[in-house]
Structure 1
Amino acid sequence: MSQTEVQFHDLRDSAEIPSRLFARTEADLTPFIDKVRPIIEAVGRDGDAALIDCARRFDGVTVDHFDIRASEAEFVAAFEALDDDVIEAIRFAADNIRRFHETQKPRAMWWQEMSPGVMAGERHVPIDAVACYVPRGKGSFPSVVLMTAIPAVVAGVPRPIIITPPGPDGQVDAATLVAAREVGIADVYKCGGAQGVAAVAYGTETVPRCDKIVGPGSPWAVAAKRLLRDSIDPGIPAGPSECVILADDSADGALAALDLTIESEHGPDSSAYLVTDSERVAREAREALPGHWAAMGEQRAGFSKAVLGGDHGGIVLTRDFEAALAFVNGYGPEHLEVLTRDPMATLSHIRHAGEVLLGPRTPVTIGNFVLGPNAVLPTNGAARVTSPLSVDDYMKRMSVGYVSAEGYAHLAGPAATLARYEGFDAHERAVSHVRDELLAQSCQGAHS
């Protein structure tokens, strides 16, 4: 691909940003909804048999015997198969991610005295069962194991599990199993895509039913989550990868181009833009991209070329830096890299992004693997209202209250007034003389 085939969006004369630049590949899931519906129905009806059939049809599993749950022998073999440096890298990343999420963990309970004799607060408890979805279609992702499973363990989820597609040999990626064991997850099930989502939504003979599913996935998995949201909490929207590189006239265009290839290599359904007000940076980036692609493997370079030369990527040149900021906040990217003269000053102008990585030594690679904050981030513009995956996503809050006799005397009157105004007879009676009389009778009975 020549540099002229990279999509170049010159907005210097545009008063508004074309809405088409904000579109994502997952925006219209209608074709996938229609295709995943029969898969979901089959899993709900046939359980394990449907999962095995899907593994053969969609994952290319060819072995005669296929166990849905990864065995202890498979975990042992995974450790033997991996090089020591990979295992050490997993442990290094896990330590940073664990320490970050331990800091996130809320207090088990807090109280506040609202008035004399009146206490109110919250109690945090973990969700009973959560499925961590680890994709595999375009690669192997032990990093996703760390990002989804570690906060589950930190939160104290009683039953965290991992679901992931099997390879043609019917096995789980070795690094995925090693990462699971390192973070304390014992249950790994070989089912991905729509069938995996359905398995944890309904439960099968082997796969346990879960209350929630977290983790990024293909449009097939995202479509299944939408159809099954009445049966399982689908978690934050985490679809195909996307990023924006924001650069001012101080940036190195070749470096910006290097980082533009990071998320665009995930797959042709990704989205990636370099947004700058510098004609020089834009030009240097376009000139540098072919060299970066030449240094990549054929498949990953092909993915990056498809994204940056397609409808969901490229280079955007704006009339000024304020317009570049407007693009970022309008887009609400999953990943945002800031390559500006003063990244911390730029940060104060960013309102919508899943994560913000500041400066030329904080590429998305660092955030994806070893920095510590969670790299499972909202996609498809959801960063406007949704936060990154965190310990909070594995817990729920329950409100707690206690009112003494002294406190009740001050609350009952206003509560009765509001109940009467809203027309709730039982509400009003429950804080009227009826309660006083019943409590008095109880006290007399206790002393007789």
Structure 2
Amino acid sequence: MKSSINFHELSKLSADQRQALLTRVEGDLSAFEEKVKPILAAVRDEGDMALARFAMQFDKASVQADALAATEADFAQAEKTLDPQVKAAMEFAAANIRSFHQHQKPEESWMKEILPGSFGGERWSAIPSVACYVPRGKGAFPSVALMTSIPAKVAGVEKVIIVTPPGPDGKIDDATLVAARMAGVDAVYKAGGAQAIAAVAYGTASIPKVSKVVGPGSPWVAAAKRLVSHLLDVGSPAGPSEVIVLADDSVSGELAALDLLVESEHGPDSSGYLVTWSKRVADEAMAALPKYLALMSEQRAGFARAVLSGPIGGIVLARDEAEAIAFCNDYAPEHLEVLAEEPDQYLPKLKHAGEILLGKYTPTTLGNYVIGPDHVLPTSGWAKTASALSVFDFMKRTSIAHVKQHGYPALAKHAHALAKYEGFDAHANAVSDLREKLLKS
């Protein structure tokens, strides 16, 4: 059967061809940065007026500059009109997300005796404020509202706000408003794209300047975050969705095809690979994909086809397990789903991924919505050094030390030697006999 879906045999690729499969669309944001700069400047200089203007320009939404914040009436209407089944699903997800992050939260402080009379430790405390960016370009995403704001509240952040694009009707998505209430968010604002990032970086009459912004977004949002990173913490990169489905010979290729489409339907800038060393699995998946694509809406099927027939998508057939694992580790995907009867055997070998979902009963869908671990994950290969969003992103560690009298002499001797070697006179004097005399007086 002919198919437009890419089929790559790793053993037949050159080094450059293999590297091309690892390259993300968001690698170079320079073109977006140039387009974003005037948007940032306008919000910095004009505040809410610029936000209202950009809402009309980019979101085709009529928004008043003095009515950017969701009102009590907006929240009440959202509660009234939201489908009860959707609300119940959100409550289920919220409970699991809250439980997971409560387990994840570290003890408030610890102190250990490093040497006799010398104590060192840490204290964890929440950051003062955060903005959670909830995108809306290709749909509405209340799950993002839950996944970003609940960990912030569990961490103890005093001020948590949501910024999200208004719809064509000038309103905020109902489910996002309900999610905000479930999470205990302090305020929700009608602002999206680069202009929303500018608003929380500079502050406007309506939207407060915050200490940090989290959440996924378009390349415009990613570029804006990069340009304001000197003003606030912009967190780990969270760009277009990406997945690797790693399958061995113990599973059905049809199952692998079903799961490959999950992240591929996000948008044409996403990436998705089925990686296997089983020719049978690869062939079954290739044959099944048209059937599953036919069950999707025209828009979502179009996105998935664009991904799987594009430069960073399709089926990747490895020579053996080692070659498949090496490709996964080099790619460092946002989502890594392991389809196997015994998936645990591969876990020690998989070094880099935003999340690893093990087994036939753990599709990415469950991870995205209801299991509990966060679905805001590092993309573009950043999983090699960055982690999933967590309570730790909303907390900071303060080092604490306390040296008692009997522990001081041994420490002072060695500190004095190092300070003298590095040429810091005051450092050395502070642990010299000058201090001994003062302490005895």
TM superposition score category, shorter chain reference: over 0.9
**Partner of residue 113, structure 2:** 113
Shift of residue 269, structure 1, vs aligned partner? 0.6
Query: Aligned residue for 2:87?
Result: 87
Contact residue 133 and residue 216 of structure 2 kept, 8 A: yes
- SS of match in other structure, 1:120: strand
Structure 1 contact 63–168 (Cα < 8 Å) conserved: no
Q: Which residue in the other structure is 1:213 paired with?
A: 213
SS in 2 for 1:88: helix
Task: Give unpaired runs (5+ residues) of structure 2.
Answer: none
Percent identity of paired positions between Structure 1 and Structure 2? 56
Q: Which residue of 1 aligns with 2:3?
A: 4
1:28-177 alignment runs, 5 A limit? 28-62=28-62, 67-177=67-177
Query: How far 1:63 sits from its partner (Å)?
Result: 5.7
Residues 246-285 of structure 1 show CA distances to partners (whole Å, capped at 9, x for unaligned) of 1112221111111111001101110001111111111111
Contact conserved, 2:253 with 2:283, CA < 8 A, in 1? yes
2:181 corresponds to 1:181:
yes
Name the structure 1 match of 2:277: 277
Instruction: Supply the distance in 1 between the matched residues of 2:325 and 2:198 (Cα, whole angstroms).
Output: 40
Indicate if the aligned counterparts of 1:97 and 1:372 stay in contact, CA closer than 8 A.
Answer: yes
Whichever residue aligns with residue 124 of structure 1, its letter is W
Cross-structure match for 1:434: 434
**Structure 1 gap ranges (5+):** 442-448
Deviation at 1:116, TM superposition (A): 2.6
Residue 125 of structure 1: how far off its partner (Å): 1.0
Q: Find the counterpart in structure 2 of residue 445 from structure 1.
A: none
Maintained 8 Å contact 1:13/1:319? no
Amino acid in structure 1 at the alignment position of 2:406: E
Task: Tell me by how many angstroms 1:409 deviates.
Answer: 2.6
Task: Assess if the C-alpha contact under 8 Å between 1:3 and 1:290 holds in 2.
Answer: no
Q: Distance in 1 between matches of 2:67 and 2:221?
A: 22
- Residue 18 of structure 1 aligns to a residue in which SS? helix
Residues 266 and 437 of structure 1: is their aligned pair in 2 closer, same or farther, counting only changes over 3 Å? Answer: same
The 5-angstrom pairing of residues 21-420 of structure 1 reads: 21-62=21-62, 67-420=67-420
| Residue identity opposite 2:118 in structure 1 | V
Q: For the residues of structure 2 that align with 1:439 and 1:76, how far apart are their CA atoms?
A: 65
Superposed CA offset, 1:391-433 (max 9, x none): 1010111111111222223322221111111111101111112
Contact 2:51 2:65 survives alignment (8 Å): no
CA contact under 8 A between 2:6 and 2:308: conserved in structure 1?
Answer: yes
Q: Could you tell me whether the CA contact under 8 Å between 2:135 and 2:216 is conserved in 1?
A: yes
Distance verdict in 2 for CA 1:375–1:49, change over 3 Å:
same
TM-score, structure 2 as length reference? 0.97
| Displacement of 1:66 | 6.7
TM superposition shift of 1:12 = 3.6
Question: How many pairs are equivalent?
Answer: 440
Tell me the distance in 2 between the aligned counterparts of 1:48 and 1:199. Answer: 8
- Asked whether the 8 Å contact 2:194–2:220 carries over to 1, the reply is yes
SS across alignment from 1:189: strand
Q: Return the alpha-carbon distance in structure 2 between the equivalents of residues 149 and 376 of structure 1.
A: 11
Question: Judging changes above 3 Å, is the alpha-carbon distance between structure 1 residues 296 and 171 closer, same or farther for their aligned structure 2 residues?
Answer: same
The reply to whether residue 13 of structure 1 matches residue 12 of structure 2 is yes
Letter in 1 for 2:376: V
